[in-house]
Amino acid sequence: MFGALERLHGHRCPMSILGARMGWAARAALGVNADAWRRLRACYHHRTCAVDGIQLATQCTAGNGNLELLAEGDHRLVLTALDEGRRAEARPTVQALQFGRRYGELRSQADQLPPGSAEERALREHIAALLDHLETAPQEELAAVTLSSV
């Protein structure tokens, strides 16, 4: 699934992965499967790479009219199951956001090193391991989800 995300998004990064993880967590909390996208409405309160992950995980898109994007700067996904009158709110955990910041720091350091140097390769391997962790970590480590009625 993350290969499809990388192809859709154009590169592999923490926020696109976290968007997918938040989308899957919210969908699981609501107990809806992938075929339920017509009955779902999503709203993400930030314009970041996470949007592509959310679209992949929930199948809600701006194009099909069931994804609203707000430029509020708040990493918060609200996924509503219209037929059931329930909503799940998913947010990345503090730890997940720290992974994102660490990724940025490591990438900045690697970009300043001579390409192909041992230090640069080691940093790139560390970055890849960090992204691998975001793809495989337990959901509760990455996304906090709360359920409520509409």
User: Residue 34: what pLDDT?
Assistant: 66
Domain that holds residue 15: 2-93+139-149
Residues of the chain with pLDDT under 50: none
Is 33 contained in some domain? yes
Please report, for the domain that includes residue 43, its CATH number.
Answer: 3.30.1330.20
User: Residue 150: what pLDDT?
Assistant: 86
Average pLDDT, the chain: 94
Global pTM? Answer: 0.92
Q: How many domains does the chain have?
A: 1
Is 49 contained in some domain? yes
Buried/exposed 22-58: b ≥16 CB within 10 Å, e otherwise: bbbbbbbbbebeeebbeebbbbbbbebbbbbbbbbbb
